[in-house]
Chain A
Amino acid sequence: MIGSENMTIEIGFLKSIPYFSGLIPGELDLIKKFIFEKTVQRGDIIVLEGDPAEAIYFVGSGAVKMFKTSADGKEQIINIVRPGESFNDVPIFDGGPNPTSAQAMGPVALYGIGKSDLDVILRDHPRVALNVINVLVGRVRQLVSLVEDLSFRQVISRVAKILLEYAGDGTGPSQRLTQQEMAAMAGTAREVVGRSLKALEAEGVIRIDRHRIVVTDREALEYAAEVSS
């Protein structure tokens, strides 16, 4: 159940949000009036891909998963939004539908601003508009990097190479790797490694057995490792 209530956001927290950095206390007090609070529980869908956007959200506590659902129903995590960060920015500014869904990963406290209220804030506080540009250009850089990963470098191939390099035969101690480490080695984001592992599993090349990645088809994994740009 998604709850909505009157705001209790602290000025200190508001100031720490990149959208509102550099504002004087009087301005923050004025902006505070436009903010509503929402609490959600694990698994709650906060915004649904394709729906019209009603508000921009800032995470007060907890974590929110942004994801897209593919035509065959598979979930693809785009990123995880942590305290102080915002989501739903793009559809609020361009008026289009939500490009992704957002789901609470646990109990989450959210602060929201409705679209029309945000328009008022931007009109009355030009500094916020500059901050928004800074936030959005940061996102553009992240997305350009993601495009590079997805289109030019064949991340699956690099993940396959890493798996082959680190695979033991199960009899002795093997070196263990986290998804974070694989991402650092492959020069990509952790979320992209997660997707690559899922893709290899769907193709029957590996099996993820709790904390073990079992290579079930070594030849296919070697083939995947050789496919590169």
Chain B
Amino acid sequence: MIEMPLVDQEKCNGCGLCVSVCYCSALVLVDNVVTIVETEECSWCTNCEAVCPTGAISCPFDIVIEQSRD
């Protein structure tokens, strides 16, 4: 399973801005609500989160410390 941006469908107002900025067609509007299509093309550019006027999309990062290779 590919990690993909998360959508809070309650918050989505169906404006489609995220769809218009997505480089890889990972977002589509279904019945006026944005839906995620899993794709390896998603580079986590976070443009969808950045443009969303209602905070319905989130692109969370895992934060990890790189283990020493020694």
> B62 at the A/B interface (Cβ < 8 Å)?
yes
Contact across chains for B63 and A80 when beta carbons are under 8 A apart: no
Bound state CA distance, A170 and B15, in angstroms?
37
Tell whether A178 pairs with B58 under 8 Å between CB atoms, given A170-B64, A215-B65: yes
For A, the interface residue count at a CB cutoff of 8 angstroms equals: 37
Contact across chains for B20 and A176 when beta carbons are under 8 A apart: no
Bound state CA distance, A178 and B44, in angstroms?
11
Residue with the greatest number of chain A CB neighbours at <10 A, chosen from B23, B46, B60, B64 = B64
Q: Which residues on B sit within 8 Å (CB–CB) of A214?
A: 64-66
- Main SS class of interface, A: mixed
Contact across chains for A62 and B17 when beta carbons are under 8 A apart: yes
Chain B residues at the A interface, C-beta cutoff of 8 Å: 3, 15, 17, 19-23, 43-44, 46-47, 49-51, 53, 55, 58-67
Q: Could you write out 9 A-B pairs with CB less than 8 Å apart?
A: A63-B20, A80-B51, A167-B64, A176-B63, A177-B61, A179-B49, A208-B61, A210-B3, A214-B65
Chain A residues at the B interface, C-beta cutoff of 8 Å: 42, 61-63, 80, 82-83, 105-108, 163, 166-170, 174-181, 190, 194, 207-208, 210-216, 218
